[in-house]
Amino acid sequence: MQNGLFDVEFRMDELSKNGDPLEKFNKYVPWEEFRSKLEVIRKKRNGNVGGRPPFDVVLMMKILVLQSIYNLSDDSTEYLIRDRLSFMRFLGLSLGDRVPDAKTIWLFREQMGNAGLVREMFDWFDGYWRKNGFMAKQGQIVDASIVSVPKQRNSRKENEAIKKDEPPVENWSDAKKRQKDTDARWVKKNGKNFYGYKNHIQVDVKHKFVRDYEVTDASVHDSNVFEAILDENNTSKDVYADSAYRSQEKEENLKKQGYRAHLQRKGYRNKALTEWEKRGNRTRSKVRSRIEHIFGIQSQRAGNLILRTIGMARAKVKIGLRNLGFNLERFCTLMVVSA
């Protein structure tokens, strides 16, 4: 059957009628506002150097946002940009336009990471939310989520050396070094072993934006990053967290800083929680559960949340983009509701 002249336009109209979630990103996110920040990663091109011009930096940034929201590999990202009309429309590409390949996407993400732009963009957007009426209000919630990476097949001696931050790299080939993540660590949670990193986030209660985050290896205890990501500019001094953050020392430190601690209590083998303590946990959980929604949304949208990167530096970039992607989507949702 012969294609009609306006077939693509008709298909786009149908996508819009069915609620294309990417349309609100172009409507509400000020992409051009940070072009100047992104341009710094472009090296000055010599006029005598041939070859195709580089892809637009805003286009590449939008591609990384797509990739982080849907947890796509570089190859899958390239394929889906070519395959999905909604992706092409979001990126402003037509069927005849060039599409960045997987290597170009990887390189741009590396350049952003090396320039520290992922964190800078995250902080810039947080300031943008605040200027547009979304101040951090009603307190803050802190929690951490394990982000797995492919398990390493090391010998016992190799694992012992890695734990001491002394990986036996002199005995590894160059190819093996590229495939070994010596920054990730094991952790046991709820009886299961996990290997990877942790995404520690702090969320404001009112608007549910990720206001700050920190990335560590998975073995770092949640409470070790607690105070470092608290927001002193939140309009409320209430702080919510689960029982992993509760200790007499933490509560005293929070009190000294002027915060009001709402930390879950935990029962022990010879000391069960009283009914009063259980009621207190249920009351706090109604607020604290808002942060669980964020991890749930990321898992539901992205499916298997395994990082396909090697090393802490790249993990920070990918996890930072994931947190930024959530905030962008949250901002658009709030703008739609308030419109």
Domain locations in the chain?
Answer: 7-115, 134-149+184-311
Q: What is the distance between the terminal CA atoms of the chain, rounded to a whole angstrom?
A: 43
Q: Which CATH architecture has domain 134-149+184-311?
A: 2-Layer Sandwich (3.30)
Judge residue 220's burial from the number of C-beta atoms within 10 Å of its C-beta, 0-12 exposed, 13-18 middle, 19 or more buried: middle
pLDDT of res. 332: 92
pLDDT of res. 49: 52
pLDDT of res. 4: 54
Residue of 270, 228, 264 lying closest to 244 (CA atoms): 264
Q: Alpha helix locations (H) across 193-311?
A: 248-256, 275-302
Average pLDDT for runs of 10 along the chain of length 339? 60 74 90 89 58 87 92 93 92 92 95 93 93 93 90 76 72 74 86 90 96 95 92 94 89 92 84 84 88 80 68 93 93 87
Residue of 197, 104, 117, 188 lying closest to 149 (CA atoms): 197
Alpha carbon 14 to its chain's center = 31
pTM of the model: 0.88
